[in-house]
């Protein structure tokens, strides 16, 4: 057996071991209710789980607690008791699970990695709901507490203008509006020069105007992560275009969530 063959076997059996341990864990709440551990000569469910699968007391407690939490949420409850999702994933979404969103969350637990689920939970706490469907990910949000510092030179100039009786707010808003108008013109110029394409490559001039508008950051207002991918807010195959009006730079996790939300909205329609 070669080293490569040995590693492949380890990976194969390791994945199977995780799956069967997951399924075993899902059975524990019912075993505990029926006190079946006593038939194995165990004093508690913890001893039972440790002897049969090497589970820690904390893991068993988490499984039992999650089962109670999901009793009125059938989609999530089924994931747990059938061993279709790990405890760590289910624990991440438990705090935001409701009767209204549990089916959506169950689908995302199966689909998304843990980091993306963490981002989803944070967004579920921040974004308001409307008719059971999240508001657009790209809506402008005012996020309290996101402070930043101005340079001493800028502060001094603003203070001087204020002392002169100038309306500093109006000056700054005017400059920001001019910037927004300039970016809007650039986007129109770029969009007008685009042709329908089957290529997923996003032209440099499109990337440049997006960088001008959003900088290097994920375009989700509540997200501090750098942008890694560009998302088509209008599905690419519909317009076959890289129109910057329908593009948004996102971090990896929000790009995964954007596609998940897109599926949810289409199903809602």
pLDDT tens track for 147-199: 668 888 998 999 999 999 999 989 998 998 999 999 999 989 998 888 888 88
CA-CA distance, 158 to 167, in Å (whole number)? 10
User: In the chain, what are the domain boundaries?
Assistant: 14-111, 152-268
Confidence of residue 41 (pLDDT cuts 50, 70, 90): very high
Res 141: pLDDT? 43
Phi, psi angle pair for 87, to nearest 5°: -60, -40
Confidence of residue 127 (pLDDT cuts 50, 70, 90): low
Q: 200, 236 in Cβ contact below 8 A? A: yes
Report CA dihedral (231, 138, 122, 230) to the nearest 10 degrees.
20
CB atoms within 10 A of CB 269: 5
pLDDT tens track for 103-115: 988 988 988 888 8
Share of the chain above pLDDT 90, in %: 34
Least confident of 8-12, 206-210, 215-219: 8-12
Residue 207 CB burial class (10 angstroms; 0-12, 13-18, ≥19): middle
Nearest Cα to Cα of residue 29 among 95, 78, 73, 75: 78
Res 257: pLDDT? 84
Helix (H) or strand (E) holding 192: helix 168-192
Res 31: pLDDT? 92
Confidence of residue 263 (pLDDT cuts 50, 70, 90): low
Q: What is the pTM of this model?
A: 0.60
pLDDT tens track for 54-94: 999 999 999 999 999 999 999 999 999 999 999 988 988 88
Q: 12 vs 8, 24, 113, 157, CA distance in Å? A: 6, 19, 19, 65
CB atoms within 10 A of CB 62: 19
Average pLDDT over residues 218-244: 83
Confidence of residue 126 (pLDDT cuts 50, 70, 90): low
């Amino acid at each position: 057996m070669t080293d490569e063959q040995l590693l492949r076997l380890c990976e194969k059996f390791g994945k199977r071991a995780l799956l069967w341990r997951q399924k075993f864990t899902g059975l524990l709440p019912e075993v505990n209710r029926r006190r079946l551990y006593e038939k194995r000569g165990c004093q508690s469910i913890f001893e039972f789980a440790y002897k049969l699968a090497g589970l820690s007391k904390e893991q068993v407690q988490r499984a039992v607690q999650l089962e109670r939490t999901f009793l009125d949420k059938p989609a999530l409850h089924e994931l747990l008791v059938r061993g279709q999702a790990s405890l760590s994933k289910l624990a991440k979404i438990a705090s935001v699970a409701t009767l209204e969103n549990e089916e959506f969350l169950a689908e995302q637990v199966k689909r998304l990695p843990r980091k993306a689920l963490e981002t989803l939970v944070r967004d579920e706490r921040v974004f308001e709901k409307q008719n059971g469907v999240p508001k657009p990910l790209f809506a402008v949000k005012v996020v309290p507490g996101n402070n930043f510092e101005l340079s001493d030179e800028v502060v001094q100039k603003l203070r001087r203008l204020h002392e002169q009786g100038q309306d500093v707010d109006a000056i700054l808003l005017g400059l920001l509006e001019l910037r927004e108008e300039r970016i809007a013109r650039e986007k129109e110029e770029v969009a007008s020069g685009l042709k329908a394409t089957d290529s997923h490559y996003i032209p440099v001039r499109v990337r440049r105007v997006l960088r001008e508008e959003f900088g290097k950051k994920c375009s989700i207002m509540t997200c501090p992560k750098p942008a890694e991918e560009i998302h088509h807010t209008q599905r690419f195959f519909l317009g076959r275009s890289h129109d910057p009006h329908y593009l948004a730079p996102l971090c990896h996790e929000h790009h995964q969530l954007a596609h998940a939300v897109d599926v949810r909205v289409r199903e809602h329609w």
